[in-house]
């Protein structure tokens, strides 16, 4: 595997995940992603935001953003695993709405409160629960290519019942050249995701930096990414967000990322 300059200069320290050796921050050297952003009613989203320090980031009156991300982590420090993230876009209460929205749209700096986060390995589950306080649960998550589309199916880990499935177009992508080390700080080339999990009654802030080596984008085309819901309780949670129009969809077959352990929100 070619060594990427993206990770250069980022020190790691050993951590233990229920007997599994890992390092903080966690390096994801190979991953792919489908990333869809929907509009949704603010009141429906606010009911799922459990951190008092943040509120839904409104796009317009009573309309906020919900992100659905389907991840395939093919090479990382805790072994390969799959994950689906459903998150409400949020801002800190003291932050100005318009400035935060502008930063989200132009600088690719996203704040989110994770509503649901199924994963398909025990070590990923335990890391999410023990270190981050994310609402992770064990599921069967499978990806398959069907013609010009890619499908992600999430099933109950015990019963095999379909929870939900997501189908996205395999868009034509544009490759990007090597980036400077993430140690140089966040730039326009790198997406920054900051989430606000609550662990032991305390709100934390966790950061992921993501470098897309190849990506395709579709805007305001509803057929680019489709959602199928079952009757599982987790599907009912997603249904209760009342997803509206698909605003944007990114197909990212080649990427790399750095995930930092959370810190208390100051």
Per-residue pLDDT of the chain (266 residues; tens, 9 = 90+): 557 899 999 999 999 999 999 999 999 999 999 999 999 999 999 999 999 999 999 999 999 999 999 999 999 999 999 999 999 999 999 999 999 999 898 888 999 999 999 999 999 999 999 999 999 999 999 999 999 999 999 999 999 999 999 999 999 999 976 666 888 765 556 899 999 999 999 999 999 999 999 999 999 999 999 999 999 999 999 999 999 999 999 999 999 999 999 999 98
- Domain ranges in the chain are 5-181+189-260
200 Cβ neighbours under 8 A, 6+ residues apart = 133
Give the integer Cα–Cα distance in Å for 216 and 253.
9
Q: Quickly count: other Cβ atoms within 10 Å of residue 48's Cβ.
A: 20
Q: Global pTM?
A: 0.95
CB distance 10 to 182 below 8 Å:
yes
192 Cβ neighbours under 8 A, 6+ residues apart = 108, 109, 110, 186, 207, 208, 209, 210
Give the integer Cα–Cα distance in Å for 23 and 229.
36
Q: What is the CATH number of domain 5-181+189-260?
A: 2.40.400.10
Long-range CB pairs of 17-24, under 8 A, 24+ apart, other chains included: 17/78, 17/123, 17/126, 17/127, 17/130, 17/131, 18/123, 18/126, 18/130, 20/78, 20/123, 20/126, 22/77, 22/78, 22/123, 22/127, 23/77, 24/260, 24/261
């Amino acid at each position: 595997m070619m060594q990427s300059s993206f990770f250069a200069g980022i020190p790691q320290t050993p951590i233990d995940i229920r007997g599994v050796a890992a390092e903080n921050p966690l390096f994801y050297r190979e991953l792919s992603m489908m990333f869809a952003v929907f509009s949704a009613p603010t009141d429906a989203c606010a009911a799922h935001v459990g951190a008092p320090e943040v509120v839904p980031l409104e796009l317009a009156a009573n309309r906020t953003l919900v992100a659905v991300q389907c991840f395939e982590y093919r090479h990382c420090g805790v072994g390969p695993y799959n994950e689906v993230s459903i998150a409400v876009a949020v801002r800190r209460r003291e932050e100005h709405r318009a400035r935060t929205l502008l930063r989200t749209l132009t600088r690719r700096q996203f704040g989110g409160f994770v509503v649901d986060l199924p994963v398909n390995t025990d070590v990923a589950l335990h890391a999410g629960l023990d270190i981050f306080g994310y609402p992770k649960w064990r599921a069967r998550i499978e990806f398959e290519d069907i013609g010009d589309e890619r499908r992600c199916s999430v099933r109950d880990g015990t019963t095999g019942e379909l929870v939900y499935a997501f189908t996205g177009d395999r868009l034509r992508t544009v490759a990007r050249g090597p980036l400077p080390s993430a140690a140089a700080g966040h730039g326009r080339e790198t997406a920054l995701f900051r989430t606000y999990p609550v662990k032991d009654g305390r709100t934390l802030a966790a950061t992921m930096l993501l470098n897309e080596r190849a990506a395709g984008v579709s805007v305001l085309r509803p057929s680019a990414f489709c959602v199928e819901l079952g009757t599982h309780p987790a599907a009912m949670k997603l249904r209760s967000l009342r997803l509206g129009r698909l605003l944007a969809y990114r197909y990212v077959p080649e990427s790399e990322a750095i995930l930092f352990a959370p810190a208390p929100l100051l």
